[in-house]
């Protein structure tokens, strides 16, 4: 039985409930983080906590805990569930209000922490690679809600996911038609040994796995370009992969029915996956 943190109290899964008047539910008014823990350590915990507080700041939401308190509550959620490997979902909503979207009527944010054992992608996908299709649904325009905020408004990404269906993962473009990201992952390509990824200004979340991969590239002496990419750049890439806390680093072997490179996961991607896995096993904030 899972034990879930809500506003300072741990509840059994069946009793872990929020009000129907919570604005996270009524309006998608809130923010979240999804992170992983491996071998008894939470990977990049500090970065996730920092990004959560930045998301909160951006939507004028006060998290009723300090960063240190939220960090401790996150680690305690793993301990209470006796877990060494798994997934953590941190959610902060605007809290309970009335049937009106004005956040001023919400007195206190709701803080939820779910630590769970689920793994999200089968190992064969890392060996065989993903199929990606471009979706008609565009990534949220920065003038509407900046994609830098990891908000509870995922509807446009969900529409893209529905479009992608069983075909595979969905690639999302921005309003100008440049590559933004996939529905829950950042995009990278290799061309002639150099690494390319869209800038966050193109509508990509400033992914923590993305930053780790850029760090690995520095370690390897690989040149990294954060520049606007079109679908042409992806079609003609030597290698293509996605990054995200859930997916980690995962190869892509086809986009819109065009094989990427030789149509099999690339050697450079494999090198990055290996190094990424070493880092997840050997670094992070100790839980116990
Ligand atoms: N873009 C979007 C839109 C995301 O939601 C990423 C990129 C990758 O960012 P990170 O920081 O994780 O490297 C995300 C992250 C889930 C889930 O349960 C989604 C994410 C992360 C963890 C779990 O669907 N998205």
254: domain CATH number? 3.20.10.10
Residue 276 has pLDDT above 80, yes or no: yes
Q: Which of 199, 213, 208, 222 is nearest to 241 (CA)?
A: 213
How far is residue 168's CA from residue 57's CA, in Å, rounded to a whole number? 34
Query: Is the Cβ atom of 186 under 6 angstroms away from ligand 1?
Result: yes
Q: Are residues 140 and 253 in the same domain?
A: yes
Residue 148 resides in a domain? yes
Instruction: Indicate whether 17 and 59 sit together in one domain.
Output: yes
Note the pLDDT of residue 119: 67
Please state, in angstroms and rounded to a whole number, the distance separating the CA atoms of residues 92 and 117.
21
CATH number of the domain enclosing 60? 3.30.470.10
CA 27 to centroid of ligand 1, rounded, Å: 21
Q: Is the CB of 209 under 6 A from ligand 1?
A: yes
Question: Which residue in this structure is represented by tokens 């998290």?
Answer: 63
99 pLDDT above the threshold of 90: yes
Q: For residues 100-123, b (16+ Cβ closer than 10 Å) or e, as one string?
A: eeebeebeebbbbbbbbeeeeeee
pLDDT band (50, 70, 90) for residue 167 = confident
Residue 288 lies in a domain: no
> Which of 235, 231, 237 lies closest to 196, judged by CA?
237
Q: Which tokens go with 88?
A: 């953590």
Q: Where in the sequence is the domain holding 35, given as residue range(s)?
A: 3-116
Asked if residue 245 is part of any domain, the answer here is yes
User: Is the domain of 89 the same as that of 157?
Assistant: no
Is the CB of 78 within 6 Å of ligand 1? no
User: Do 102 and 138 share a structural domain?
Assistant: no
Does any ligand 1 atom lie closer than 6 A to the CB of residue 185? yes
Is the C-beta atom of 34 inside 6 A of ligand 1?
A: yes
Residue closest by Cα to atom 25 of ligand 1: 184
Residue 285 predicted with pLDDT over 70: yes
Handedness of CA 149, 50, 65, 244 (dihedral sign): positive
Tens-digit pLDDT profile for residues 179-205:
999 999 999 999 999 999 999 999 999
Tell me if 48 CB under 6 Å of ligand 1: no
Q: Which of 59, 202, 193, 219 is closest to 139 using CA atoms?
A: 202
Task: Among 74-78, 89-93, 118-122, 168-172, name the one with the lowest average pLDDT.
Answer: 118-122
Looking at the structure, do residues 103 and 13 belong to the same domain, yes or no?
yes
Q: How far is the CA of 163 from the centre of ligand 1 (A)?
A: 18
For the chain, the domain total comes to 2
pLDDT of residue 231: 98
Q: For ligand 1, what atom is nearest to the CA of residue 34?
A: 22
Asked if residue 147 and residue 239 are part of one domain, the reply reads yes
Eight-state DSSP code of residue 188: E
Which of 82, 97, 116 is the last residue before a domain boundary? 116
Residue 265 inside a domain? The answer is yes
Q: Which atom of ligand 1 is nearest to the CA of 204?
A: 1
150 belongs to a structural domain: yes
Specify the pairing of strand 169-173 against strand 194-197: unpaired
By annotation, the residues acting in catalysis are 150
Q: What is the pLDDT of residue 166?
A: 87
- Over the Cα atoms of the chain, what is R_g? 19
- Whole-model pTM: value is 0.95
Residue 120 has pLDDT above 70, yes or no: no
Where among 74, 91, 116 does a domain terminate?
A: 116
Phi, psi for 277 (deg, rounded to 5) = -65, -35
pLDDT tens digits, residue range 213-263?
A: 999 999 999 999 999 999 999 999 999 999 999 999 999 999 999 999 999
15/107 same-domain check:
yes
- Shared domain check, 242 and 273: yes
Question: Which residues does 190 contact at the CB level (< 8 Å), separation at least 6?
Answer: 196, 237, 238, 239, 240, 266, 268, 269
- The mean pLDDT of the chain is 96
Last residue of a domain, one of 75, 92, 116: 116
- Cα 116 to averaged position of ligand 1 atoms, centre (Å): 16
Q: Identify whether residues 75 and 143 lie together within a single domain.
A: no
């Amino acid at each position: 039985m899972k034990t879930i943190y809500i506003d300072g109290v741990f509840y059994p899964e069946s009793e872990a409930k929020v009000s129907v008047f919570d604005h996270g539910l009524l309006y998608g008014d809130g923010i979240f983080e999804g992170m992983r823990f491996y071998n008894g350590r939470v990977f990049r915990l500090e970065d996730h906590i920092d990004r959560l507080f930045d998301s909160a700041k951006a939507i004028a939401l006060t998290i009723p805990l300090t960063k240190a308190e939220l960090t401790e509550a996150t680690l305690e959620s793993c301990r209470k569930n006796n877990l060494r490997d798994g997934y953590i979902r941190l959610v902060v909503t605007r809290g309970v209000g009335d049937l009106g979207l004005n956040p001023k009527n919400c007195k206190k944010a709701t803080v939820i922490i779910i630590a769970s054992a689920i793994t999200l992608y089968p190992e064969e996908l890392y060996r065989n690679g993903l199929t990606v299709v471009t979706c008609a649904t565009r990534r949220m325009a920065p003038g509407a809600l900046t994609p830098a905020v990891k908000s509870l408004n995922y509807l446009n990404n969900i529409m893209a996911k529905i479009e992608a269906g069983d075909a595979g993962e969905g690639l999302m473009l921005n309003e100008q038609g440049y590559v933004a990201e996939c529905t829950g992952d950042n995009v990278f390509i290799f061309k002639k040994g150099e690494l390319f990824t869209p800038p966050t200004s193109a509508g990509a979340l400033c992914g923590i796995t993305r930053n780790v991969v850029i760090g690995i590239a520095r370690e390897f002496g690989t040149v990294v370009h954060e520049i606007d990419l079109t679908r042409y750049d992806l079609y003609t890439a030597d290698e293509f992969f996605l990054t995200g806390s859930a997916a980690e680093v995962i190869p892509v072997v086809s986009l819109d029915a065009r094989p990427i490179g030789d149509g099999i996961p690339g050697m450079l991607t494999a090198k990055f996956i290996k190094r990424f896995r070493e880092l997840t096993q050997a670094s992070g904030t100790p839980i116990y």
